[in-house]
Each structure stands twice: as structure tokens, then as C-alpha cells.
A and B are shown apart, each in its own frame.
Chain A
């Protein structure tokens, strides 16, 4: 059985009984904790709402688009990412200490957490399943070009690849390369080219014309 099966139990019929068992277990646990007075279900609803509606890659996209279109902001972002990101009102849990790493024609950056799932929540939201999966966590540090191939990305052989393993509470955001042919574009137009994966380093920004 491949790891894919484990990470996507919802895709596979043979896992449905296990899923419903987990569903029941979580439901029972929530009622126990509520009855004991340890949690307030309204607070749980608010937490879920925050991570589904407010905290997500659209925040990071704004940061990148501003950095591409505002050289002074880019400078502040590279110097003190936590403060520059807070200027756009993004801060807090799992983004307390931010560092931005910039892709160039010479160096491509990629971020991983081999030990668990560390990821910059305020700018990217919760990590996708693949980011937390064994294939990514095992191979990103030893075979990043192979991982990039899984994402359909091929870099020139001469481009240096730099992998950042997030083993502490420092959280990394990749500043992708601004695509050619976007001179004079507004931050709003540029934002259309930024993808979540380009801010993790498993993708590149979209090219003009690729956005439709």
C-alpha cells in the first residue's frame, strides 16, 4: 500500500469504516470535553472559521504581490519579514518568527518540515496533505529535483537548490521570481500570478496569459 492511501483515506472505499470510527470518536470526545466544561463549542466554530475563511494562501499572495510591486516593501520584507508581514495585518500562531527567502535565476528555495508539519500559517493557512505526507518529508531534503518533477517543475541543471528544513519555530516563505513581461503591472494584477506552491518552492509563479 502506498503512503498516498494513508494520507487520503477519504478517497478509498476500504477505509470508510475506519473513517466513520474516527468520526464517532471525535464526536464523542467533543461532547465529553464540552460536558466537562473544558471547551466551548462556539470557540471551536470560531477557530474553524478562522482557518477556513481568514487564514490562507491569499494572505501570502498579497505579501508577494506587494513585494514585487513595491521595492521599499520588498527591502523591509527581506530584512525583517515578521514586521513587514504584520504591516499587512498578518501575524501570530505558527508565523511568530518569519523569514522570507528569495528565488533568483541562480538559486531556487524549497521549504519542508521533515519532523512534522511546520508551515507559516498566517500567510499560507494550514498545510496541504502532501506537505505533511511521508513522500514529501522524506524526499524534499535528499531529492528535491525529483520532488519538483512530481509537481511538473523542471529547473535548469545549473540552478542551485536550497532546501530549508523548518526544525524550529522559524517559518519560511519563498518569494518566487516575478515573471517576465509583467512590467508596470499593479499589485492586484501580479497577485493573479502567485500560487501557494510557488510560496513553498514546489512551484513557480504563473506566466502572464496562464491565469485565465
Chain B
């Protein structure tokens, strides 16, 4: 979706302000919100693309006024309410008002480290040969899905060069909708600065995105 989360090239946000000696979490609620989000994914039955969409799919003023872990918390609430794991009334009341959804198994302490160390690899066996070759010039499609996509607005319609082929990977646009993994070839596509930002752009700049095959068209 074309939302507030898609920030590449936006103006007016001011300077980057690094925080010296920044802690991993600011306050205990960030620790717990992070851990709850990570620990609920498997019992809750959603994938990473569904959780990204739950975070970004909100009014711009809401997205931009929440801190990072407040967005995570809001996304977690949405995912759980959608699946009937908790009700909005329970979240607002801060207490249990309905029986648990049957068959939901928590992550056991012994599973934590192995699960994090395994992660969730997204590479899959290719079912067809790659359509594009390294070195080839391609155009990014000018598409505007209302659902989740990983094609940022700032590269749409622009010409780039295929630089790397990463194999076939789970396609977020389908996976976020529960329509299966639909693995596709994934490429790093590089753009010259002036192609993206006009003739006054830094001539020494190039930018790349990682793009699935269906984001690309032949030129």
C-alpha cells in the first residue's frame, strides 16, 4: 500500500539524531512489547509479511505519531483481534473477558533459542528459470497495490540494472494475504541517482532495492 511507512525520498523530516550509548530498549514496556510480538507469531499463526502489513496499514497521522514499539504493539493487537485470540473489549478493559481460543500452544522456554537461531529462511526451490540476467536493464512496474507490497514508490517506473540474483524467495505481496508463498526470483536492482531524483541529484549516488520478478518489466 502507498502509506506513511513508505518513506524513501520524503522531505521535511529533519536531521538524523543518533543517541549516544543508546540502550537496546528504552524502558521495560519496549522489552515486553518486543518479546510479546516475537513470541505470539507462531501461536497466533501469522507470518512476517502479515505482521508488517498490520503495522503499516494505518492512517499516516497514526503511523507518524507512534514510536516504533508503539506501532509494533498496535500491529500485534490488530493481528490478535483479527484471529479471535483476544477481543478489542479485552484489550481496552485490560483483563480476560472470554475463554481462550482452543489449540493455541505457547512457545516453551526450551524452544526460544533454537527458534531464533533457526529464523525463517525465505529461499525456495525455483520452479522456472529466471527471466532476467545480471547486467540487464529493467523497468520497475508502476503499480499501486492497496495491500502489502515491498516495491517502494520512489523506484516505480524507473530504469535500473540487475546486479544480483538471490534465488527464489517467498513473495510478500501474496504471503501477507495468506495466499501462499508464491516464491519468485529475487534480484538486487541498482538505479543511478539522477534516474531517481532528477538531474540535480548527486552524480556519485546509486541506490538499490531487492525486487521480486513480478515487480519488473522488460525494456
* A interface list, Cβ under 8 A from B: 2-4, 6-10, 19, 22-33, 35-40, 42-48, 50-52, 55-56, 91-97, 99, 114-117, 125-126, 128-130, 132-139, 141-145, 147, 150-151, 157-170, 197, 202
Bound-state Cα–Cα, A40 to B18, Å: 35
- Do A48 and B16 touch (CB < 8 A)? no
Which of chain B's residues have a CB closer than 8 A to the CB of A129?
Answer: 19, 22, 26, 68
Does residue B106 face the partner (Cβ distance < 8 Å to A)?
Answer: yes
The verdict on A92 contacting B77 (CB below 8 Å), with A48-B34, A141-B8, A170-B186 known, is no
State the CA gap A185–B35 with chains docked (Å). 40
CB distance from A61 to the nearest CB of B (A): 16
6 A-B pairs with least C-beta separation: A28-B94, A114-B8, A168-B210, A36-B100, A92-B119, A44-B35
Q: Which residues of B contact A135 (CB under 8 A)?
A: 13-17
Within 8 Å CB of A167, what residues of B?
Answer: 150-152, 209-211
- Using A19-B27, A24-B94, A138-B11 as known contacts, say yes or no to A168 and B169 having CB atoms under 8 A apart: yes
B119 partner, pick from A3, A93, A142, beta carbons under 8 A: A93
Pick from A147, A157, A168: contact of B212, CB below 8 A.
A168
Give the size of the chain B interface in residues (CB under 8 angstroms).
95
CB distance from B206 to the nearest CB of A (A): 5
Contact A46 B112 (CB under 8 A): yes
Residues of chain B having any CB pair with chain A under 8 Å: 5-11, 13-19, 22, 24-29, 31-36, 38-40, 43-44, 52, 55-56, 64-68, 70, 73, 76-77, 85-86, 90-91, 94-96, 100-101, 104, 106-109, 111-113, 115-123, 150-152, 154, 164, 166, 169-170, 172, 186, 188, 190, 196-197, 201-202, 204-212
Question: Contact: A2 with B14, CB < 8 Å?
Answer: yes
Contacts of B111 in A (CB 8 A): 43
A170 to chain B, nearest CB (A): 5
Interface centre among A26, A93, A132, A143, by most B CB within 10 Å?
A26
Question: Is A32 touching B95 in the complex (CB atoms < 8 A)?
Answer: yes
* A residues less than 8 Å from B77 (CB atoms): 29
Indicate whether A48 sits within 8 Å of B31 (C-beta atoms), given known contacts A30-B36, A95-B119, A144-B205.
Answer: yes
